[in-house]
Structure 1
Amino acid sequence: MRLSEKLMLFKNNYKNFNSSWINKIDSGENPNSQDLLDHLDLIHDRHAGFTEKIATSCCDVHGKNSYELLLDTIDPSSHSDILDLACGSGVLLEYCNKRFPFNLKLSGVDMNDNELKLARIRLLNKDIDFFNAKAQKLNFIKDSSKDVIFCHWALTLMDPIIPVLKTIKRILKNHGIFSAIVDGDSNSAKGYSEINNIIYKYVQKIFPNYGLLELGDPRVRSLKTLNELVKMVFDDCAIKITPHVLTFKEKPKVLAKDVSRFFYASLVLSSKHYQVLVSELENYFNKSSVNGLSEFNLPVNRLIVEKRSKLYFLNK
């Protein structure tokens, strides 16, 4: 082993995280899409199911979380075949199965084995098909076969994104619905930017270049550019993007742990550094607590696309 390799190994052991994406970011290089896939796969191997707590707990003024916002786009009278793209640990499919226990064919796709293991356990003895595959490679799914395709907080991380959107369009039926939850405007949710800054500033003490390059395609993170991006593929289709702010109230100590684990940035830290970050977040939440509770406000955008063939418009 060369000296440079030994130094890199020591560096990675110290930081307790080793992916080609983080190594290239750390050295000032530009990672490619395969580096991103490897990075995300490693994180989900280590922390399968880590998004569940915040995603289920943060709710809008009507008490709905982001999973339930997606379920609202299902019309059980006309939709029967549902695909959850990047299904993770199967939470959305579980919600779907509970709300619509009859007459729906459910399936989930994810690229990570550990997430799929959790999903299969969660939905044991349910008639749900799971597939290990990347969103860009769904050749095993027939054209125009799905009534609804969900993507809960994963579209933001996909790169390249255009092949994903083209695949979704291909496998959707005419009048089928593509519904996704993605990042919203950080300035629309009280306190979100401050929390994001606490996490990123601390991570940058260990990984100075972290945050200079976003995970995935940055166009998905802006309402304007997301709309333009989707229109590039779903031409002549109905597109609607609505902003939402979801809130979770808890004791500062609990909230600090749950919120920190929701951010990919915090998951590249060693356990020692992670505990320091949690303490900083707890201090932040303590300062804003009321009657022993503090709150985390999460901005999201819900994207809804209805596929319409050109024949549909000619007949109108």
Structure 2
Amino acid sequence: MGFTNMSYLYPRTVTLIGIPGLEHVQFWIGFPFFGVCLLALMGNIFLLIIIPTERSLHQPMYIFLAVLAATDLGLCIAIAPKMLAIFWFGSCSMTFDACLTQLFFIHALQGMESGILLAMAYDRYVAICDPLRHTSILTPFVLVKMVVVVVIRATVLVGALPILLKRLQRFHSRVIIHSYCEHMAVVKLAAEDICVSKSYGLFVAFAILGFDMIFVFISYIHIFQAVFRLSQKESRLKAFNTCIAHIVVFFEFYILAFFSFFSHRFGHVSPYVHILLSTIYLLVPPALNPIVYGVKTKEIRRRVVQIFILKPDIRH
């Protein structure tokens, strides 16, 4: 069958409708999302200020945390301005190229966040399973190489997604049923064969999120085995305590990620439920990560207290 009269060539602009079925309350929904974004921005900016200036935090775990904070900031900046413009001002139009750019940054930063969580799990594995060699294994040069590999992997794998979308010529709609440019939401606009884009999207998800999740689990299996082999209860609790923050962040990220991913492709949840959950998945972890690590790390807590209550300690 040929293309119908409803299909047209590559669009110059697209329209993001926000949250379908909840358009009448989107204005009010924007306020809690704005609060979450503000919390994420403040928390991650504090981490990026505190970690470089606090000498006791110049360790691999907190260096990775600083990179995670920068990634979370990027996610908020990529999503929040346009989403809030849709909710508050009805600014739904967007050029197709800008949409593809947003799509790239959102998914690339997701991939980088997943890679940093894997790097943090490896740091905990070395610190607990081979503590005497921790500093000799995770040298500054090795840390830089790990971060560079994480960034290159996400950039290269995700970079092909907008390229494949640019090759599509005919679309049956310009209306994206979402509050931001998500890959599958854009793919579904096409009025031609989308098997390559869908298959490659699945490949990227499993090559990044699936791969990282498997190896984080393997790391923690070895970590727990090493912890339970410790003879003293105090030593076991201390070792486990160093992992709690990362475990919380890990589960928070991957559970929401895979629920969002599978519900969009294989689930039958209502569109507004999926879009709310996928937006929460992208914005809530950046807001919670600084809180989780702030609560668990006394140096971060102390510096935050100094910033808000006391004069900064110039010795640091």
Structure showing greater Rg: 2
TM-score normalised to the size of structure 2? 0.27
Higher relative contact order (Cα pairs below 8 Å, separated by 6+ residues)? 2
Higher helix share: 2
Higher strand share: 1
TM-score normalised to the size of structure 1? 0.27
